[in-house]
């Protein structure tokens, strides 16, 4: 069984990293099963060697999640040179010629413009940053012209290069109580009490264990990431429906996916959501890799470690009995894991939206600093990477300010 040990994490900084507290005992069985299949236990998977399985590292302190707002904004919110506006929605970046000069936003039913003497920093996500650039006249010229937006800078890369970690689910039925049975009544109160008393347990996590797996031993890096959850559910036309039987979910996703999607605005209306085209399995490599990840997850459930607990396979299920059927199942069941990135790609090539200093190409006084600048989706969740982009971006802004 897994036991916590020292990792390569530091112990200072605004965001704490710690192992999940009070993980379900089947999380340890998952680690045993992974080791049985050749994926070692690696509690330092955020260090130099990523391959391996571990109790999940989380951004928590005493069971409480530490977000970017908690770690970075809350400690400085009373600074005299900082003004935080809530319930405000940015509409577009105001420009004068080729220079960004302000931010147009709506608040309380009014449209206002905040003027900038220095730089404007756009940090609105891989979805909204390219949307706002397009609304501001920075993006594919054909799209902007179609919606009557004056072109400030024609760049086909804005909104392109959209990437995600395509995933599928392997669900096993087990003989041990799992959290999908605890969504109300006394069991939910017990979880709440455990959190209140100890800052631990089901109220502090979704996936208590994780693994980075090589589906082929000759690979240089893990091509699949697993999230392990002690629950089971189905998607229905009405939404998510929890299973009425104990279950575990293994969620393999493709690490360095090759598929590329895009997004674009539907109109010049800032309140209208953009059209998003994920195209997550557009490259055959991603489909093949995800199919192999599902097969690996099935082998985990059939391992000796899980033998005392697993009583059947719910997904893909016995009806998916051939290779062709499995490929078809994965193609139709695949989804994303909320890791969109890449839509304002950093680089020096023709497809780049920002340069290596995160300055928007073709426009002065404007930078993008968020996950949209990632050129290639990495192996692993992108929260920590987004924080690192913010740290580096802040250094670049300060360096630029000192040079003036």
Q: Which residues are catalytic?
A: 339
Task: List phi, psi (to 5°) of 180.
Answer: -65, -15
Asked if 149 and 266 touch (Cβ cutoff 8 Å), the reply is no
Q: Residue 127: enclosing H or E segment and its boundaries?
A: helix 125-135
Measured distance CA(103)–CA(95) in Å, rounded: 9
Q: How close are the terminal C-alpha atoms of the chain, in Å?
A: 57
The residues, ordered by sequence, that sit 6+ positions from 281 with a Cβ below 8 Å of its Cβ are: 166, 259, 287, 290, 331, 334
CA-wise closest residue to 177 among 250, 247, 251: 247
Q: Which two tokens stand for residue 59?
A: 């951004």
| Helix runs in 171-320, H state only | 185-198, 284-301
Q: Which two tokens stand for residue 163?
A: 């990437």
Measured distance CA(4)–CA(23) in Å, rounded: 12
Identify the sign of the CA torsion 247, 237, 164, 10.
Answer: negative
Q: Residue 129: enclosing H or E segment and its boundaries?
A: helix 125-135
Measured distance CA(237)–CA(183) in Å, rounded: 20
Question: 3-state SS of the chain: helix, strand, coil percent to 5?
Answer: 25, 25, 45
Asked if 293 and 147 touch (Cβ cutoff 8 Å), the reply is no
Cβ neighbours of 13 (radius 10 Å): 11
Check residue 233 and report its DSSP letter: E
The residues, ordered by sequence, that sit 6+ positions from 282 with a Cβ below 8 Å of its Cβ are: 259, 260, 261
Measured distance CA(116)–CA(133) in Å, rounded: 17
CA-wise closest residue to 213 among 55, 51, 45: 51
Residue identified by tokens 């707002």 is 69
């Amino acid at each position: 069984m897994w036991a916590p040990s020292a990792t390569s994490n530091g112990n200072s900084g605004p965001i704490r990293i710690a192992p999940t507290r009070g993980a379900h005992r089947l999380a340890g069985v998952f680690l045993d099963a992974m080791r049985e299949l050749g994926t070692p236990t690696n509690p330092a998977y955020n260090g130099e060697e990523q391959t391996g399985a571990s109790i999940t590292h989380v951004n928590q302190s005493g069971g409480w999640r530490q977000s970017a707002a908690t770690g970075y904004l809350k400690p400085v919110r009373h600074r005299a040179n900082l003004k935080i506006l809530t319930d405000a929605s940015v509409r577009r970046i105001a420009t004068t010629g080729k220079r960004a000069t302000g931010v147009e936003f709506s608040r309380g039913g009014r449209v206002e413009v905040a003027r900038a003497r220095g730089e404007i920093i756009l940090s609105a996500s891989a979805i909204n940053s390219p949307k706002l650039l397009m609304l501001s006249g920075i993006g594919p010229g054909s799209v902007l012209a179609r919606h009557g937006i004056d072109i400030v800078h024609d760049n086909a890369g804005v909104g392109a290069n959209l990437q995600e970690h395509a995933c599928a689910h392997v669900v096993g039925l087990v003989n041990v109580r799992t959290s999908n049975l605890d969504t109300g009544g006394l069991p939910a109160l017990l979880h709440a009490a455990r959190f209140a008393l100890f800052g631990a347990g089901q109220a502090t996590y979704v996936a208590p264990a994780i693994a980075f797996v090589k589906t082929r031993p000759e690979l240089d890096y893990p091509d699949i990431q697993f999230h392990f959850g002690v629950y089971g559910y189905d998607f229905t036309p009405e939404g998510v429906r929890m299973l009425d039987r104990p279950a575990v979910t293994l969620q393999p996703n493709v690490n360095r996916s090759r598929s590329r999607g895009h997004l674009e605005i539907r109109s010049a209306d800032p309140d209208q959501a953009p059209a998003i085209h994920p195209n997550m399995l557009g490259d055959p490599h991603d489909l093949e890799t995800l199919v192999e990840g599902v097969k690996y997850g099935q082998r985990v459930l059939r391992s000796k470690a899980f033998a005392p607990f697993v009583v059947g396979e719910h997904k893909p299920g016995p009806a998916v009995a051939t290779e062709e059927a499995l490929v078809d199942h994965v193609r139709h069941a695949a989804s994303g894991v909320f890791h969109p990135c890449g839509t304002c790609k950093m680089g020096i090539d023709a497809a780049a939206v920002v340069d290596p200093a995160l300055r928007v190409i073709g426009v002065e006084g404007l930078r993008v600093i968020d996950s949209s600048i990632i050129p290639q989706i990495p192996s692993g969740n992108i929260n920590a990477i987004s924080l690192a982009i913010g740290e580096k971006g802040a250094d670049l802004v300060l360096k630029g300010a000192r040079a003036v």
